[in-house]
Amino acid sequence: MHSLATLLIEVGALLVGLGFLSRLATRIGISPIPLYLVFGLVVGSLGILSQGESTEFLEIGSELGVILLLVMLGLEYSASELVTNLKQSKKAGLHDIVANGAPGFALGLLMGWGVVASVALAGITYISSSGVVAKMLRDMGRLGNRETPAILSILVIEDLVMAFYLPILSVLLIGSGLLQGGVTLAISVVAVVVILYLALRHGDTISKLFSPQHPESLLLGVFGFTLLVAGIAQQVNVSSAVGAFLVGIALSGQVAEKAEKVLSPLRDLFAGAFFLFFGLSTNAADMVPLLLPALALAVVSISTKVWTGYLAAKWAGIAVPGRWRSGFALTPRGEFSIVIAGLAVGAGIEPQLAPLATAYVLLTVVAGPLLGRIPETSWFQRWMASRT
């Protein structure tokens, strides 16, 4: 009974803390992700949590947080939108992979971490935070801008790339032999293709399994189905996150719209637990010697991401101001970067990866909203005018 009381007190206090931090983030106009991470770092460093039920609860909650983040992300796109965006922006998507994966891969090799850890760091620097970018566009009133479809196309392609990247990373993390690794990777890719095919061709049929008119039934059914597919995906080394993302894509119409509403509170709860647990699992003292590498990586990868967004908007026929808005909007990294770091650290490949990723994400998430407003400043507009 005493352990249950401790669990309730610790988890309750942490959730109250997250609630206050979310409110503070909204008030000052930034994403709550950096505040959640810092909160976890502080609590973990002070050692005020008992290493018992509360830690295990948060660990399970963080796994659910990843799954909910990804299924909600998938719900934002229909299967047809996914294919259309892929066709229209494949050139920009390829540039994005090379330009933004290279800084992380290069730094990993320079630090002597080896190929596997470098591949993980490449993924961390490659993918923008869809959640933070979407919030920035909404807060700055740019959802209706001409460059917004180009931004969303990049985000969609990045999410699709993750569907294949994560299985490859998982195989590398397992460290199996060439033959066994090839077989595992082949199974993973086939599983992704099958799930993606079902999402594209039979999404309407899958959606008919659920009723948008009954919120309770919809919540239980979609959440349960997501966990089921995520578990099957994990079993064949695809990653539960990818399975959840593809479930979101498979659902369409009113089911997707209503599911997004009923799942949002669950997403907010467990996503908060995910970022909190990642902070708890990272030693703040380990971040200190990695602040300079994280800062250098942030400067380089922010620059390459700005250039990626600029080119994507240019190739879409957007005027110069919209190109810069597109570039600066894509700079924040967030949830997926932390997911990748968590997978790598969980496999025990490089202990420094977690503190570096935490510092890097903190820097980019804080800088993102500030950089996003640069195209609206008078000095930047004068600079653009001088170059035309």
- Helices 291-315 and 148-174, packing angle to 10 deg: 130
CB atoms within 10 A of CB 349: 18
In the chain, how many H helices and how many E strands? 18, 0
Residue 344 binned pLDDT confidence (cut-offs 50, 70, 90): confident
Cβ atoms 141, 131 nearer than 8 A: no
State the pLDDT at residue 204.
76
Q: What distance in Å separates the CA atoms of residue 318 and residue 146, rounded to the nearest whole number?
A: 7
Residue 251 has pLDDT above 90, yes or no: no
Task: Give me the residue label for tokens 């994966």.
Answer: 101
State the pLDDT at residue 175.
64
Q: What distance in Å separates the CA atoms of residue 367 and residue 23, rounded to the nearest whole number?
A: 19
Residue 228 has pLDDT above 60, yes or no: yes
* Pair of tokens at residue 4: 């249950």
| Percent above pLDDT 70 for the chain | 89
Pick the more confident residue, 117 or 174. 117
Residue 52 binned pLDDT confidence (cut-offs 50, 70, 90): low
- Kindly write down the DSSP assignment for every residue of 43-105, as one continuous string: HHHHT-S-TTHHHHHHHHHHHHHHHHHHHHHHHTS-HHHHHHHHHHTHHHHHHHHHHHHHHHH
Q: State mean pLDDT over 223-237.
A: 85
* Pair of tokens at residue 136: 């920035």
Residue 103 has pLDDT above 90, yes or no: yes
* Pair of tokens at residue 19: 């609630």
Residue 354 has pLDDT above 60, yes or no: yes
> For residue range 368-381, what is the model confidence (pLDDT) as tens digits?
888 888 888 889 88
Pick the more confident residue, 282 or 97. 97
State the pLDDT at residue 1.
45
Mean pLDDT (the chain, rounded): 83
Residue 123 has pLDDT above 90, yes or no: yes
> For residue range 189-222, what is the model confidence (pLDDT) as tens digits?
777 677 677 777 777 788 888 888 899 999 999 9
State the pLDDT at residue 181.
58
Residue 240 binned pLDDT confidence (cut-offs 50, 70, 90): confident
State the pLDDT at residue 323.
92
| Percent above pLDDT 90 for the chain | 25
Q: Is the dihedral of CA 370, 371, 374, 376 positive or negative?
A: negative
Pick the more confident residue, 236 or 181. 236
Residue 59 has pLDDT above 60, yes or no: yes
Listed ranges 45-49, 236-240, 267-271, 313-317; the one with the highest mean pLDDT = 313-317
Domains defined for the chain, CATH in brackets:
2-377 (1.20.1530.20)
Pick the more confident residue, 115 or 161. 115
Residue 185 has pLDDT above 70, yes or no: no
Q: What distance in Å separates the CA atoms of residue 311 and residue 188, rounded to the nearest whole number?
A: 33
Q: State mean pLDDT over 309-336.
A: 90
